[in-house]
Structure 1
């Protein structure tokens, strides 16, 4: 069985799409963004294709593409779209699969359903992306509590940003979660620079484990 991962974050805009691109490249995986909110700028799928170097065939189509850059529940309402959770089923792929959520774990898909509720249904190992900067301890530990409350399997934690050894230590110790590595902010965001940074900072073997 090939590895499958959900990528989520402690907040929006922390760099989880960049990490998803790096992991998609490293695993030669397919990538799926269930819901894309905001179409005027580069979408997450387009970014993963560009930075991850994945062929178009491995960038799987979103279940919903919403125009307004907002929380999916609001974006869908403004676009007069009804999100049907039954359509949010992870696609079957021949090889590894990387799935990326939107924003943080408790972002609402509808007025009744959060992304974390969908992740709990899927039971796919989740990689949580967190900042290294001030405020990350609280945000990350709260996110880990939300995951455990819903019995979502946590594969590990990825830090994004400049090194902050104390923040990283205390989060992994108190949170009881594995540190997978840290992706630094890159002065030039190119596919080559991203792939090199991933190779330096992460052990690919940590992502080849398949739960029994």
Structure 2
């Protein structure tokens, strides 16, 4: 079974919450290859708290909360791309990217380049708010142009059926469900929220890749 990759149309749209829900539902390990920003609770710490899943150590940890190539430059280092190969895991593996597809790791390499190298299926997390149709269709087009398998889209936010349908139909992609605002955000509310997510389709994509 291939890992499942979680990416988004932008930053701050719920990728980590979706990753935690997937790890919880799949009984999976979680890996964040590159963590930029260490002052607040990291994505790995959030997933460990919410999903109770094994968390693999990040390959790269950078202090500055910025694009990885900028964070690395601020520390006088260069990200070792060879360290970003998918790790072995006895469990299913959920891997979370940073920001969107075109976030740079250095001046030549983006996360999309990593995804193309890995060849694992991707779940795209998309807002339901204004602007999401453009961002989502551009992201899907970029993934397909690089031959990256797409498991489908998980939407984040208030229900917007017409917008969601437009993205699924025009993007020719599976609508995997929508995760609304979880308040409070706990392991229990996350598990309940994921009851509307099409986990069968996600498992099938992991097995077929």
Give the TM-score normalised by the residue count of structure 1.
0.95
Which of the numbers 174, 195, 203 marks the counterpart of 2:198?
203
State the number of aligned residues: 207
SS of the residue corresponding to residue 148 of structure 1 reads helix
Residues 3 and 118 (structure 1), Cα distance of their counterparts in 2 relative to 1, 3 Å cut:
closer
Superposed counterparts of 1:111-126, under 5 Å:
111-126=107-122
Deviations 1:95-135 (A, max 9, x none): 20000000000000001100000100100000000001111
Give the TM-score normalised by the residue count of structure 2.
0.97
Deviations 1:31-78 (A, max 9, x none): 000000000000000000011122xxx200000000000000000000
Q: Contact 1:3 / 1:207 at 8 angstroms: preserved in 2? A: no
SS of the residue corresponding to residue 65 of structure 1 reads strand
Gapped runs of 5+ residues in structure 2?
none
Q: RMSD value over aligned CA atoms?
A: 0.9
Q: Contact 1:3 / 1:208 at 8 angstroms: preserved in 2? A: no
Which of the numbers 53, 69, 74 marks the counterpart of 1:73?
69
Runs (4 or more) in structure 1 with deviation over 4 Å come to: none
1:194 is aligned to 190
Deviations 1:130-166 (A, max 9, x none): 0011110000001011111111111111000010000
